[in-house]
Structure 1
Amino acid sequence: MDDISTGTLATVLVLLIFISAYFSGSETGMMALNRYRLRHLSKQGHKGAKRVEKLLERPDRLIGLILIGNNLVNILASAIATILGMRLFGDLGVAIATGGLTLVILVFAEVTPKTLAALYPERVSYTSSLLLNVLMKALYPLVWVVNGITNGFLKILGLATDHSGKDNLSSEELRTVVNEAGGLIPRRHQNMLLSILELEEITVDDIMVPRNEITGINVNDDWKAIMRQLTHAPHGRMVLYRDNIDEVVGMLRVREAYRMMVENEFNKENLLRAADEVYYIPEGTPLNVQMLKFQRNKQRIGMIVDEYGDIIGLVTLEDILEEIVGEFTTSLSPSLAEEITALPDGSFMIDGTANIRDLNKSLNWELPTDGPRTLNGLILEHLEDIPSSQLSIEVEGHQMEIVEVAENMIKQVKILPVPKSAKA
């Protein structure tokens, strides 16, 4: 070192600081990359993404390579800075070189390049991967030895060192990714994606048309009544039953009934013969499962039965699709807009049959959904009795006034706005 000039040593020191900055920035850039975007670009044929993805297949080797290079450079820089300090300031130069080099490395070889790499990880990573690929091949034996020692030490500590696992996202993490997509995905599309993720948490019981709201044709009625119901049928399929809904005999396609009318073949015998077989669904079936079953069995409508085989409701394929894309005009049950009336004072007049999940989603409330599914059921569970007259109660922080009770059901409820202090 004594034969090397001070100017040469200073030049080498500056070069080593730049190399240290390269290693520091490369490490941060590689670790800050969006792995899913990286995988997408790699599949699209992006050369830089392919290089980086290959390096990240074994992150322990990549980090080992970067740290080997960074530490070698920093140690050599420290030695050169000490020599320069002693030449310029004598024995005091050791302290000056230590303090000065620490500040320079901290600012120019650590904080600045790492901040830059964190802001522009793709630019830094794709460019630095060119040299890192070459260094990985050149220094592979040293990297292999260092990683072998490191992994052995981790195994002694009882820590897993298997690198074969893939980056998988849970449903909650997927929801976060969709929510943070911002303007990249239209808000309506975000809502649809989130609704698809929620299908496994919702059962057919949550969206079914309750038993008492199922409309159909009693085949034992007189012909005038049957004709009137078919003429005013709001949907493409009608339930056929004998006297009561427990005696369902089939599902009739309304257009098939019209065809029989045109061909003068319309009678009870042909009506029953034209009806499709009833498709039954066990209660508690998740929507994602039921949608696949509808597809597999080529069905669009089914009767939901409880553990005793009693019919408790009806669900259609359209009902499931509504959970994803929003309400259709062909729903068998009233839409939420028909069940809620906003009042001038900020309160809401709501039908007792309104679904709690729909209320929470529409009005941003947090009424409990792990019990009754309708507002009527929630209030009855809270009261543990059927009120005989108007009554004011508080349920989950919401002031509710029972306006109308009929047929052992709460028909109308007025819910007052939640005070701002309560929200806070």
Structure 2
Amino acid sequence: MSVNIPRGTQDILPGTVEKWQHLERIATDICRNYQYKEIRTPIFEHTELFQRGVGDTTDIVQKEMYTFTDRGGRSLTLRPEGTAAVVRSFVENKMFGDPNQPVKLYYKGPMFRYERPQSGRYRQFVQFGVEAIGSEDPAIDAEVIALVMDIYRTAGLRKIQLVVNSLGDTESRVAHREALIQHFQPRIGEFCEDCQSRLEKNPMRILDCKKDRDHELMKSAPSILDYLNEYSRTYFEKVQQYLSALDIEFVVDPTLVRGLDYYNHTAFEIMSQAEGFGAITTLCGGGRYNGLVSQMGGPDVPGIGFAFSMERFLAAMEAESIEWEETNRLDCYIASLGDEARDYTVKLVHDLRKAGMKAERDYQNRKMKAQFKAADRLQAKFVAILGEDELKENKITLKDMETGEQQEVMLEHFVDTLQKKMEEK
């Protein structure tokens, strides 16, 4: 019986995983520059966490979660997103008591959603995200957006667009909610079942519907920007002011609502505008979630964050034909001839690795010509050749693969000699 990989998952093989590592290094290095620290939460949590945190009216909770009952009869769910778990940890570990506020965190890891697999979208996918919890300053909104823009720009992406909106505070949302209900109610029967169920529960989610996005009522729907109270309007203006001060270009889109219930005030997405990227252009989404911490049993402190899919990040890189030089070349390949010489290279390659060099030897008992071919495939900078005669004379031949120069080196000085040559490269 053959066992194949489950639908909606993927194997990330050598040759590709290095690209992931490259982008992860960029993201983590920039997070550290911004003073964000890594947090790691469980892959599964109590189902109630996501029902309360993400929202009962969302597609994630209603249709996409991987939920199971454990042997103790508890309902558990593989995490579909990162924010709810980070906020749960913030509350449970009393991070609100940390004297350094806001608490600035980043995370990376697999998430799970049962949705239709398509290009750049999987049922198990890797998400990188940031959360800043504990500040109501609109400057932190601009900082979070600047951080993710820095990640994309540093990776080389140029054909991207930042879209922002304000979802307002509770008072603004209530006024907008009533206007949406009045707008959609007379013709709600023309919309899908999901939209019909959202009319009373969360009418703003209708604006996020993919099935009915071309309906004429969508284009004429009341804009949240027309219902912002003075505080919400001033807050949003301040965010835009800071973004402009940071030379970050953006477009205001009043139809941007995001797909999770916990968002309020600032909401944003970053889109790929690369030709051929696909119909779904969103690379990253985020926003402010004031009220979520208290909803999780913590104090009433605000928060803001974003998350992006690593798979879609890589797809955007490919769409823009961005290449980067692979720096993981082998420092030295040790080729040997004869049983005694081959035995001796076991310790020799270990000594090179202990000295901090990337080294390899032959494990297939191949002939010298085949060993040199292996060194070429590994892009070895140097090849060290050890035969029976060299071993008797306590010497080894070191060849520079770029210049072709060769020299004999005493075995006891081999590691030091190679290290000096590596420093000269």
Query: What is the TM-score when the length of structure 2 is the normalising length?
Result: 0.20
Which fold has the larger relative contact order, with Cα–Cα distance below 8 Å and residues 6 or more apart in sequence?
Answer: 2
Larger radius of gyration: 1
Query: What is the TM-score when the length of structure 1 is the normalising length?
Result: 0.20
More strand per residue: 2
More helix per residue: 1
